[in-house]
Amino acid sequence: MKVAFLASEVIPYAKTGGLADVAGALPKFLTGLGADVRVFMPFYREVGKKNLPLVSVIDSASLEVNGETLAYRVLAHCADGVTTYFVDRPEYFDRDQLYGTPAGDYPDNGERFGFFCRAALETMRTVGFPPDVIHAHDWQSALTFAYLKFPYAGDAFFGRTRTVFTIHNLAYQGLFDKAVLGSVGLPSSLFNMNDLEFFGQVNALKAGILYSSAVTTVSPRYSREIQTPAFGCGLDGLLRSRSGALHGILNGVDYRDWDPATDKLIPHKFAPADLAGKKVCRDELAREFGLAAPADLPVAGMVTRLAGQKGLDIVCEALDALLGLGLTLVILGTGEQKIQDFLLAAQKKHPKRIGLKIAFDERIAHTIYAGSDLFLIPSRYEPCGLTQMYAMKYGTVPVVRATGGLDDSVQEFDAKTGSGNGFKFAEAAPGPLVEAAGRAAAGFKRPAEWRTLVGNAMAADFSWSRSAAEYLALYKKLAAA
* CATH number of residue 408's parent domain: 3.40.50.2000
What is the Cα–Cα distance from 22 to 29, expressed in whole angstroms? Answer: 11
Residues 287 and 236 in one domain: no
Residues 183 and 295 in one domain: no
Domain count along the chain: 2
Q: Is residue 397 part of a domain?
A: yes
Residues 27 and 46 in one domain: yes
Q: Is residue 327 part of a domain?
A: yes
Q: Is residue 262 part of a domain?
A: no
Q: Which residues contact 31 (CB under 8 A, 6 or more apart)?
A: 37, 80, 81, 82
Residues 331 and 285 in one domain: yes
User: Taking 90 as the threshold, does the pLDDT of residue 468 lie above it?
Assistant: yes
> Minimal CA–CA distance to 36: which of 479, 437, 352, 412?
479
Residues 448 and 472 in one domain: no
The whole-number average pLDDT for the span 367-390 is 96
What is the Cα–Cα distance from 421 to 409, expressed in whole angstroms? Answer: 9
pLDDT band at 16 (very low <50, low <70, confident <90, very high): confident
Residues 290 and 229 in one domain: no
> Minimal CA–CA distance to 470: which of 226, 213, 164?
164
Q: What is the pTM of this model?
A: 0.90
Q: Is residue 387 part of a domain?
A: yes
Residues 355 and 427 in one domain: yes
Residues 305 and 413 in one domain: yes
What is the Cα–Cα distance from 262 to 260, expressed in whole angstroms? Answer: 5
Residues 454 and 475 in one domain: no
The whole-number average pLDDT for the span 369-381 is 97
What is the Cα–Cα distance from 348 to 357, expressed in whole angstroms? Answer: 12
Q: Is residue 381 part of a domain?
A: yes
pLDDT band at 100 (very low <50, low <70, confident <90, very high): very high
CA angle 430, 233, 241 (to 5 degrees): 130
Residues 119 and 196 in one domain: yes
The whole-number average pLDDT for the span 212-241 is 97
User: Considering the chain, what is the average pLDDT of its residues?
Assistant: 96
Residues 292 and 227 in one domain: no
User: Taking 80 as the threshold, does the pLDDT of residue 102 lie above it?
Assistant: no
Q: Which residues contact 157 (CB under 8 A, 6 or more apart)?
A: 124, 125, 130
Report the percent of the chain where pLDDT is more than 70. Answer: 100
* Domain assignment of residue 457, given as a range: 276-461
Residues 239 and 359 in one domain: no
